[in-house]
Amino acid sequence: MAAMSALICDKVDPILNKILGDNGIDVAYEPEITPEALLEKAADYQIIIVRSRTKITANVIERATSCQIVARVGVGLDNIDTKACEARKIRVLNAVEGAMNAVAELVLGLMLSMARHIPRADSAIRRDKWLKKELLGSELRGKYLGIVGMGNIGKRLARLARALNMNVMGFDVAPIDQEFSREVGLMKVDLDTLFQSADYVSLHVPLLDSTRHLVDSKRLSLMKPTARIINTSRGGIVDEDALYDAIESGKIAGAALDVFETEPAIQNRLATLDGVVMTPHIGAQTGEAQGLAANVIAEKIVQTVRGVI
């Protein structure tokens, strides 16, 4: 393999560094690199690797004259100008497999948090308040979960939810695998039916023009007053103003959000509502997911360099 050099721009699991090194790739690890320093150094590397912090803009690509591969140790490619890469025939790689179990498990955690009011119970007890009578919860068993986007994460969630004896409905613009549907007892429904009948709606679609504000006031008005939304996909898929109004007016019971229209979601008024649970974009933040993503992307880079994929 011809000697190549890679620049890792964000904090990643050390296994990535090791696998690339073992395969003869020189690695520069600069997890705190500034945008200015990246512009200066971009020309020196054939491979540029990022997680979420570093943005690979058209400017970076213009400077990265030797670049052949841009890799993201994660799923979404929102921080990479993929069009600029395509125009220069730079391969863009990501690690879809890494996060699927981590995100699906977070959804379970968020559903249980809402159903049993766990965050409110915890914060009250820390303020010496014993809210036993007020915090009457509900169970997930027998409830209807509607999954929008039956890709990697949606499918994993369907399996986990079945293990909790939930009834699972799914919607996707692409055909959903028949065998998978049979195996997990998935009910395929249209989007309006899903919003009308679900107790929990969980979103697992990419952010595209066609999915921006997919959950708007019209869709929210279809939901049952006891129903709740979970968004661990991307901020922007839910219209946060419409969501605030729907929860505040009691049209729906609540929501759990891991992703927001503006991140970090500081001073977000949804945080003033009791029915809302919020986490700071931690869907893929597990040691296991980071390790898996680093392994997957390392293998993809090595295979691409060898011309295998």
List residues with catalytic annotation.
234, 263, 281
The region of 6-14, 108-116, 150-158, 261-269 touching ligand NAD under the rule CB under 6 A is 150-158
Piece of the chain touching ligand NAD by CB under 6 A; list 83-91, 124-132, 281-289, 301-309: 281-289
When asked if residue 204 is in the footprint of ligand NAD (CB under 6 A), the reply is: yes
Give me the least distance between CB of 279 and ligand NAD, in Å please. Answer: 9
**Closest Cα partner for 50 from 19, 22, 15, 78?**
78
Residue found under tokens 């079945």: 162
Asked if 257 is part of the footprint of ligand NAD (rule: CB under 6 A), the reply reads no
Residue 173 as a binder of ligand NAD (CB under 6 A): the answer is: yes
Determine, following the binding rule CB under 6 A, whether residue 283 of this chain makes contact with ligand NAD: yes
What would you report as the CA-atom Rg of the chain, rounded to the nearest whole angstrom? 21
Beta bridge partners of 215: 238
94 touches ligand NAD by CB under 6 A: no
| The Cα angle at residue 302 between residues 300 and 308, in degrees rounded to 5 | 75
- 258 touching ligand NAD, by CB under 6 A: yes
Can you tell me which of 15, 63, 68, 76 binds ligand NAD, judged by CB under 6 A? Answer: 76
Phi, psi torsion values for 132, nearest 5 degrees: -50, -50
Q: How far is the CB of 233 from ligand NAD (least distance, A)?
A: 4
What tokens were used for 25? Answer: 């790739």
Residue from 56, 75, 85, 227 binding ligand NAD (CB under 6 A): 75
Q: Which is nearer to ligand NAD, 112 or 282 (CB)?
A: 282
Q: Is 290 in the site for ligand NAD (CB under 6 A)?
A: no
Taking CB under 6 A as the criterion, the residue among 281, 291, 299, 304 binding ligand NAD is 281
**Which residues of the shown chain bind ligand NAD in the complex (CB under 6 A)?**
75-76, 96, 99-100, 103, 148-154, 171-174, 204-206, 210-211, 232-234, 258-259, 281, 283-284
